[in-house]
Amino acid sequence: MNFINSNVKLDARSFGNLLKEETWSMKNKMRVPVLAAGMALVLLLSGCQTKQTDSQTVATYAGGKVTQQTFYKELKQSPTTKTVLANMLIYRALDHSYGKSVSDKTVNTAYDSYKQQYGNNFSEFLSQNGFSRSSFKQSLRTNYLSEVALKKLKKVSTANLKDACKTYQPKVTVQHILTSDETTAQQVISDLAAGKDFTTLAKTYSIDTATKDKGGKVSFESTSKSLDSTFKTAAYKLKNGDYTKTPVKVTNGYEVIKMVNHPAKGTFASNKKALTASVYAKWLRNSSVMQRVISQVLKNENVSIKDKDLATALDSYKTAATTK
């Protein structure tokens, strides 16, 4: 397969600027891709260097110097370098094809949502996941671009909708209290059993700064992407007025959940729009599906790796293209 967008030129400068900004991962832990770490120097180089760039010095020592060309040649031996190149090409192909469909406002809104959710722990969240603030925004944009590509290239069938209907849940409203440890969550449950008010307890105990002052109230559908799947599963088991009798372990700690409004499921016809969203949400979490989608984007963008030492960087996507 012949792959490169003629409008995408990987010169040394652009290669250098993008390592900090671009990332790709099919893992969907809160739909946050994982940034390739420890490779900042890779960004200084590319296979499209000129003779002038080749002679530029990266470092010197008593016995001589290391040129960019020598350094680049050494870096090419690392599998991580291929990952960086693949990430760059994927992002650029997605952005060239669908960039106009994802606004800065959309990315900034998602960013602010994470920032509000993590509160004072936001910087720690970024650090633990290998992000700077700008690279995290870039990864969010990659997610949105991937979603646009999926919806453009893969359509939902009636069979897909009927299958999704079997597990679909309508929009529900709950109150929740997020704690950092299980002991505190258990104390909340004991207080509820003693007749204490959930709203008051949320303001006292919850570490979710976005909802605690609202009594922990939040509404969501089965397609919601911002909530832990364990949280949703536990909530759907509750009837109106019921709360979880044991702490629910989630990514950020432990939850106590109370069901406020759990409406009837409704008909297939009335839920068609929501079911379509549900199918796409499921596909976004499926690495095999997304690899095939990205493979098609790369093909459409005519992406081609000219350096033979890096030619296998996109092989997993070539394989995905032939797998149904």
44, 146: one domain: yes
pLDDT of residue 194: 98
300, 251: one domain: no
pLDDT of residue 226: 76
Reduce the DSSP state of residue 255 to 3 states and report it: strand
pLDDT in tens, 83-130: 999 999 999 999 999 999 999 999 999 999 999 888 899 999 999 999
Query: How many whole angstroms from its chain centre is CA 87?
Result: 14
The Cα–Cα gap between 221 and 151 comes to 20
Q: Is 238 part of any domain?
A: yes
Q: Is 69 part of any domain?
A: yes
Number of domains in the chain: 2
Instruction: Give, as one character, the DSSP assignment of residue 227.
Output: S
The dihedrals phi and psi of 260, each to the nearest 5 degrees, come to -95, -50
Q: Where are the beta strands (DSSP E) in 202-263?
A: 217-220, 248-250, 253-261
Q: Is 130 part of any domain?
A: no
Q: What is the pTM of this model?
A: 0.67
Bridge partner residues of 173 (DSSP): 219, 261
92, 236: one domain: no
Q: How confident is the model at residue 311 (pLDDT cuts 50, 70, 90)?
A: very high
- Whole domain around residue 187: which residue ranges? 169-261
73, 201: one domain: no
183, 241: one domain: yes
Q: For the chain, what's the residue count?
A: 324
Residue from 50, 130, 36, 33 nearest 85 by CA: 36
Range scoring the smallest mean pLDDT among 53-67, 98-112, 136-150, 297-311: 53-67
35, 148: one domain: yes
Q: Look over the chain and give the mean of its residue pLDDT values, rounded to a whole number.
A: 84
The Cα–Cα gap between 300 and 245 comes to 52
Mean per-residue pLDDT for 45-66? Answer: 72
Mean per-residue pLDDT for 301-306? Answer: 96
72, 48: one domain: yes
Q: Is 72 part of any domain?
A: yes
Query: In this predicted model, which residue has the larger pLDDT, 270 or 12?
Result: 270
45, 147: one domain: yes
Reduce the DSSP state of residue 45 to 3 states and report it: coil
Residue that has been written with the tokens 């949502």 in this structure: 113
CATH number at residue 220: 3.10.50.40
pLDDT of residue 54: 54
Q: Is 250 part of any domain?
A: yes
Stretch (H or E) spanning 201: helix 198-205
**Nearby residues of 55 by Cβ (< 8 Å), 6 or more positions away:** 67, 68, 69
The Cα–Cα gap between 316 and 1 comes to 13
71, 93: one domain: yes
Judge contact between 241 and 259, C-beta under 8 A. Answer: yes
Query: How many whole angstroms from its chain centre is CA 93?
Result: 18
The Cα–Cα gap between 239 and 300 comes to 49
16, 66: one domain: yes
pLDDT in tens, 4-48: 333 333 333 333 333 333 333 333 334 444 333 334 434 444 444
The Cα–Cα gap between 222 and 231 comes to 11
pLDDT of residue 182: 98
**C-alpha distance across the termini of the chain, in Å:** 17
Cross-sheet strand order for the sheet of 217-220: 217-220, 172-179, 253-261, 248-250
Query: In this predicted model, which residue has the larger pLDDT, 281 or 240?
Result: 240
pLDDT in tens, 197-243: 999 999 999 999 989 999 999 999 887 777 888 999 999 999 999 99
pLDDT of residue 220: 92
190, 240: one domain: yes
Q: Is 117 part of any domain?
A: no
The Cα–Cα gap between 230 and 252 comes to 11
Q: Is 7 part of any domain?
A: no
The Cα–Cα gap between 310 and 320 comes to 19
Residue that has been written with the tokens 């590319």 in this structure: 46
Instruction: Give, as one character, the DSSP assignment of residue 140.
Output: H
pLDDT in tens, 165-186: 998 888 999 999 999 999 999 9
79, 201: one domain: no
Residue from 229, 234, 224 nearest 259 by CA: 234
Q: Is 228 part of any domain?
A: yes
